[in-house]
Amino acid sequence: MSSLSTTTAADAVPAVRVHELSRAFGTLQAIDNVSFSVAPGEIFGLVGPDGAGKTTLMRMLAGVLAPDHGRIELDGIDVQHQSEQAKRHLSYMPQRFGLYEDLTVAENIFFYGELFSVATSDRRTRSETLLHAAGLTDFRHRRAGQLSGGMKQKLGLICALIHTPRVLLLDEPTTGVDPVSRRDFWAILYQLREQGVTIVLSTAYMDEAERCTRLALVHGGRIRQCDTPARLKAAMPGSLLELVAADPRAIHGALRHQPGVLGSLLMGDRVHVRVDNATRRMPQLNNFLGEQGLDIQGMEQVEPGIEDVFVALLDEEAPA
Amino acid sequence: MNLRRLFALAWKESLQIWRDPRSLAIALLMPLMQMGILGYGVSLDIKRVPLCVFDQENSQQSRAMVNSFVASGWFRLSRRLVRDDDVRDAMDRGSCSAALVIPVDFSRRLSQHGSAAVQAIFDATDVNTTNIALGYAQGALALASQQMYARWAAAHGVAATRVGQVDLEPGTWFNETLDSRNFIIPGVVAVILALVGAQLTSLTISREWERGTMEQLISTPVTALEVMLGKLLPYFAIGMLDAGFCLATAVFWFHVPFRGDLFTLLITTLLFLVVVLGIGYLISVRIRSQLGASQVALLLTMLPANLLSGYTFPIDQMPGAIQTLSLVVYARYYVSILRGVFLKGSTIDDLWFPIAGLSLYALLILWLAARAFRKRLD
């Protein structure tokens, strides 16, 4: 369980096994022949832009949307055909807040506890612990509709965890959540992982993606790459140069079509330029910028982040 | 089926109803208002028909004739006319719906020939009213001529013999006072329950879709049957409350005679509620917006319940095809059950036909409703 490598994950009995999954909406192929496995205790991240198919995939994993083709197993249980049995062992938190806004925090927790037939004493202790961890103890009698965005998401997580799921599915759980709540949120996730709960989450936040044990880069309904964050970064073709400049936009535009430049990404006041060979291209680019009269405050080789990996992946697919 | 999940759903649904002013208003205020409006507003009785009189003779006898019309209580003297054209004019203006024209030679003919004719003209745009007014006129006239004959006989010293005359002595059963309210109010109760019941449950599933709570709910192990029963349970309680309220209003406020037994009433009302709540639930499953579901429920229940339930228009007077069509209008069964229980004191044995109809309906609806809800987003 401690191993993060793909080989070991595949060897173990997978907590989630997705096999050749497809789903179309009209002419749009939302999920296109996707296969992957998640080992017990992993935090598996689905990363990709909006419209990549993350939510469709999550919904099929949760058994609320039927696939056109393919098969999903949770702990060896077929989600399609043994739906009720599978649902006993999973918890799903949809992207849109799915709890009852006209019920209080405590009432929502009670309701979901009952739906999962949690013993009363278990429910009490679990909800105390979770409310405390989420910082919601003082809000238990407040209507869910009157909570802040972050509190709502934490309440969603509490309701999802009021029974002991083997697999926890979180669809963009921290979108629109303040940093403090996000920290609480992740603290709970790490605890769960220690208890052996498998977590599959989708996220658009790259810093959050880095926290996952394994990542699937989703684009156009397909998984383009799937590995640990470290390996994904290592596998990125080329090296990354970070340029700090007063006018990063101009730098970004000027360098894109220079020889040896594989891609360029604007990141605030910086530009991430991916080149085939850092040592060879650094002086070349420096000279070029000098000729063009474009000032930079610095240029250095840096380790890529997940976002760089993702953008590199898209660049490789569709060369400009 | 897991009872714990079922009751959790029922509990949750009750809390939501209690906290939603709109649901509460539909549940409790709508029956109250409708009972008032329909109970007072709908009456088929035609009393005091406005009558115009064109008395061309204006004799003692002709005035006695007019008096006997007014004294019958069925007519109200609205205008006295002086010219022929006035009759047409009065009808056009709607100032009367019947006109009595007494010819100049009325008393002369009466004394010479022993018989005379008067003309009665009716505004027949409303056929129903006209037929009833015509009946009233004939009654009033028969009474008047009887009195005249008696007076004539007395004046001529002849014994008022009545040779070969057959009298009809009408007896009206079950609604002795011929008060149409007694007939209509039980129907009103049925129509209100059909309407309110479907409205109540029509929102229950669409609300979950609209508020985005359905996705998480269907990701739990809860079954479709548990969802259906758990959600219907609280509305069943409200439905019984409404039924009790409407029926009590019928008896204690509108003084409709209640001759049946409470047990028959209870059983049939429960059965009817299963049907109406189930229909609302079915609509709710099919239509995912609350507004749409509520409107469809209104349309599907209001028109058939009003037109084809027999609550205002008698079913056996309808054309054959429409009569057959009315068999699918579930309200008709409850209308005839309520009328039977209220006015005739009918028991379950007497009411086997409508009860069988409702039972079939209830089974069909429950079967459809249990199958309708799919735990899927698409």
Partners of A116 on chain B (C-beta within 8 Å) are 220-221
CB A261 within 8 A of CB A252: no
State chain B's mean pLDDT as an integer: 85
Please compute the mean of the pLDDT values over residues B10-28 and round it to a whole number: 90
Same fold, A6-233 and A237-303: no
**Mean pLDDT, all residues of chain A:** 89
Residue B149 pLDDT exceeds 90? no
At B374 the pLDDT is: 85
What CATH class has A6-233? alpha beta
Write the pLDDT tens digit of every residue in A244-271.
988 888 888 888 888 888 988 888 888 9
Residue B164: its pLDDT value, please? 57
> What SS3 state is found at B121?
strand
Instruction: Over range A1-9, report the average pLDDT.
Output: 44
Contacts of A84 in chain B (CB under 8 A): 221, 223
Higher-confidence residue of A35 and B154: namely: A35
Using the predicted structure, report yes or no on whether residue A317 has a pLDDT greater than 90.
no
Q: Please, which residues have CB within 8 angstroms of residue A264's CB and are 6 or more apart in sequence?
A: A252, A255, A256, A271, A272, A273, A274
Mean pLDDT computed over A106-111: 96
Q: How many CB pairs under 8 A join A and B?
A: 81
pLDDT in tens, B162-179: 555 666 666 666 666 657
* Mean pLDDT across B215-241: 93
Instruction: Tell me what pLDDT residue A318 has.
Output: 66
Mutate to test the interface with A, among B12, B14, B376, B378 (most CBs of A within 10 A): B12
User: Rounded distance, CA B220 to CA B116, Å?
Assistant: 87
Give the pLDDT of residue B49: 85
The string over A187-210, giving b where at least 16 C-beta atoms fall within 10 Å of a residue's C-beta and e elsewhere, is ebbeebbeeebbbbbbbebeebbb
Tell me the pLDDT tens digit for each residue of A58-101.
999 999 999 999 999 998 899 989 988 999 999 999 988 899 99
Say if residue A116's pLDDT is above 90.
yes
- Looking at the predicted structure, is the pLDDT value of residue A3 above 70? no
pLDDT score recorded for residue A20: 95
Higher pLDDT, B271 or B162: B271
| Torsion angles phi and psi, residue A304, rounded to 5 | -70, 150
What integer is the mean pLDDT of B286-314?
82
Q: Which of B11, B15, B219 sits opposite A64 (nearest CB)?
A: B219
Q: Give the DSSP H or E segment for A43.
A: strand A43-47
Residue B115 DSSP label: -
List the single best residue of A72, A111, A153, A164 to mutate versus B (max B Cβ within 10 A): A111
Looking at the partner chain, which of A87, A97, A117 has a beta carbon nearest the beta carbon of B219? Answer: A87
Q: Do B220 and A87 touch (CB under 8 A)?
A: yes
pLDDT of residue B168: 67
Please give the average per-residue pLDDT across B318-340, as a whole number: 87
B106 vs B103: CA distance, rounded Å: 5
Q: Evaluate if residue B358 carries a pLDDT over 50.
A: yes
Helix (H, G, I), strand (E, B) or coil at A270: strand
Q: In which band, very low, low, confident or very high, does the pLDDT at B161 lie, cut at 50, 70 and 90? A: low
Per-residue model confidence (pLDDT) at position A4? 44
pLDDT attached to residue B163: 54
At A15, list the tokens: 């907590």
Percentage of chain A surpassing pLDDT 70? 95
Determine the pLDDT at residue B62: 86
CA separation for the pair B331, B275 (Å, rounded):
9
Nearest chain A residue to B20 by CA distance is: A102
Residue from the list A59, A64, A84 with its beta carbon closest to the beta carbon of B221: A84
The full set of domain ranges for chain A reads 6-233, 237-303
State the pLDDT at residue A31. Answer: 94
CA distance A285 to A260: 9
Chain A residues closer than 8 Å to B378 by CB: 65-66
Q: Which of B46, B34, B226, B194 is nearest to B130 (CA)?
A: B46
Under the banding of pLDDT at 50, 70 and 90, the label for residue A10 is very low
Region of poorest pLDDT, from A11-20, A89-98, B260-269: A11-20
Nearest to B221 among A96, A116, A159 (CB): A116
Rounded-to-integer distance, Cα B9 and Cα B16, Å: 11
* CA pair distance A178, A180, nearest whole angstrom: 6
User: What's the whole-number mean pLDDT along residues B256-282?
Assistant: 92
Residue A110 C-alpha from the chain's centroid: 29
Query: Which domains does chain B carry?
Result: 3-43+180-372 (no CATH), 49-155 (3.40.1710.10)
Superfamily of domain A237-303: YebC, transcriptional regulation domain (3.30.70.980)
